[in-house]
Amino acid sequence: MNVEVRVTDSSKGKGLYAKCKILKESLIFEEDPLVSCQFSWNSAYRYLACDHCLRPLETAQENASRLSGHPIDLPYPECCTTDKSKFTKCSTCFTQYCSEECKTQALEQYHSIICLQTQDKNSAHPLEQLNEAWKQVHYPPETNSIFLIVRLLARILKAPNKEIAIAQTLQFCHRTVNEDADLAHKLLGDKFADQLSLLHNKFIAVVPHEGIEQFLSYEGFLSLLALIGTNGQGVGTSAISEWARNAESLLLSDDDKKVLDSFIDHLYQQMDENVGEFLNNEGVALYSLQSTCNHSCSPNAEPKFLHNNHRLSLVATQDIEEGEEIFISYLDECFLNRSRHSRMKELMRNYLFVCQCPKCESEADQEDVTSEEEEDMSE
């Protein structure tokens, strides 16, 4: 391991530090999440992904055809990595997995607790009721999922050692009751904050209570929402972008390369016209090590999904010296390019801290202005 977690003097308490020099563009570490899940609307709109690891369950050709709205004939089909012969389903509820390994891991870690049992025909299953309630308070573009919490608790119930599993969960929570309530409200947005107790009622109906009572009270629920709000990492996978990456690295003649490049450009244009920014299977996950990385507005590392599933690869975006702290950005690209005032406001809103990164310090004498466009965007 070329990194270590250390206690820092920053308000976050922990930070990740390089134990040796790490070169720009090299891999810092890879890790699988504690839990992950696909977003509810993303799944409802038929973005097909493995229920455990989010690997695409479509071929690149099917993916391109669906996203562009008409049949597409993809060249170089061998560049598609989807292997349907490995797909499998839960024998009880028919949840789909990309492989036997994913099904086994899901069943062992959490799925058997929340597997949809034979249904009472007169009412929707509690999990479906929760899904519907969540969808009504969390419209696209999605940033989180209540099912991350459901899986986190099911994981504790399934764990051979509950104390360890509870400690792994609590490593993420370190805030006061008021701060948790504040963060939970922000996760839902002001418009939906009054839906929290309804959501809580639906939530406690989906998991057995014994052994996890501390998380099921209203306060416990708010702290779990705060936990996923501040630690959830977005995950994106795509059969078509994997295909494009592989096709672009083929050894082709200059003419063939030109044809391929213009095919890809045209395809992305068609997909953009049909579905806009919604190209990927999208979801959210909790990572033990990555979540110890603090934020900077000029980060030196970036999470990537090089395996086209939920396995996270942290990649250096600058040379990092031995002993230097590793920073990622909690803000997306678009927010990172805004004024110091806007960045600070967004970080305070969603993470409750004042950024003291070098970029913010160097811009400290900037006026506290927020442009009108920025005001609109942050509504």
Site size for Zn ion (CB under 5 A): 15
271 and 68 Cβ atoms separated by less than 8 Å: yes
DSSP 58-103: S-HHHHHHHHHTS----S-GGG----GGG-EE-TTT--EESSHHHH
- Distance, CA of 36 to CA of 232 (rounded, Å): 9
Q: Which of 48, 67, 74, 98 binds Zn ion (CB under 5 A)?
A: 98
Residue numbers 42-81 binding Zn ion by CB under 5 A = 50, 52-53, 55
262 and 291 Cβ atoms separated by less than 8 Å: no
22 and 299 Cβ atoms separated by less than 8 Å: no
91 binds Zn ion (CB under 5 A): no
Q: Name the minimum Å distance from CB 240 to Zn ion.
A: 18
Give me 341's structure tokens: 């005032």
Q: Could you tell me the CA-to-CA distances from 106 to 39, 40, 44, 102, 180 in Å, in that order?
A: 17, 18, 21, 6, 29
Nearer to Zn ion, 31 or 219 (CB): 31
239 binds Zn ion (CB under 5 A): no
Q: Name the minimum Å distance from CB 83 to Zn ion.
A: 11
Q: Name the minimum Å distance from CB 33 to Zn ion.
A: 12
Q: Which of 30, 79, 87, 90 binds Zn ion (CB under 5 A)?
A: 90
The neighbour count for residue 271, using CB atoms within 10 Å, is 21
Backbone φ/ψ region at 304: left (φ over 0), alpha (ψ -120 to 50), beta: beta
Q: Name the minimum Å distance from CB 279 to Zn ion.
A: 20
Q: Name the minimum Å distance from CB 297 to Zn ion.
A: 3
User: What does the CA dihedral 277, 280, 282, 288 come to, rounded to 10 degrees?
Assistant: -110
- Return the range that interacts with Zn ion (CB under 5 A); candidates 160-168, 261-269, 325-333, 356-364: 356-364
Contacts of 77 (CB under 8 A, 6+ apart): 59, 60, 61
Q: Name the minimum Å distance from CB 358 to Zn ion.
A: 8
Residue numbers 243-302 binding Zn ion by CB under 5 A = 297
297 and 343 Cβ atoms separated by less than 8 Å: yes
Q: Which of 93, 193, 204, 275 binds Zn ion (CB under 5 A)?
A: 93
Q: Name the minimum Å distance from CB 194 to Zn ion.
A: 33
289 and 2 Cβ atoms separated by less than 8 Å: no
Nearer to Zn ion, 200 or 295 (CB): 295
336 binds Zn ion (CB under 5 A): no
Q: Name the minimum Å distance from CB 55 to Zn ion.
A: 5
The neighbour count for residue 87, using CB atoms within 10 Å, is 17
Nearer to Zn ion, 257 or 307 (CB): 307
- Return the range that interacts with Zn ion (CB under 5 A); candidates 75-83, 96-104, 211-219, 258-266: 96-104
Nearer to Zn ion, 222 or 286 (CB): 286
92 binds Zn ion (CB under 5 A): yes
Q: Which of 80, 102, 235, 240 binds Zn ion (CB under 5 A)?
A: 102
Residue numbers 190-219 binding Zn ion by CB under 5 A = none
E strand map for the chain: 3-7, 14-18, 27-31, 35-38, 88-89, 96-97, 233-237, 281-286, 294-295, 301-304, 312-316, 325-328
- Return the range that interacts with Zn ion (CB under 5 A); candidates 32-40, 70-78, 101-109, 234-242: 101-109
357 binds Zn ion (CB under 5 A): yes
Q: Name the minimum Å distance from CB 102 to Zn ion.
A: 3
The 113-152 site mask, x for binding Zn ion (CB under 5 A), equals --x-------------------------------------
- Residue 367 φ/ψ, nearest 5 degrees: -65, 150
Which residues are at the interface with Zn ion (CB under 5 A)? 50, 52-53, 55, 90, 92-93, 95, 98, 102, 115, 297, 355, 357, 360
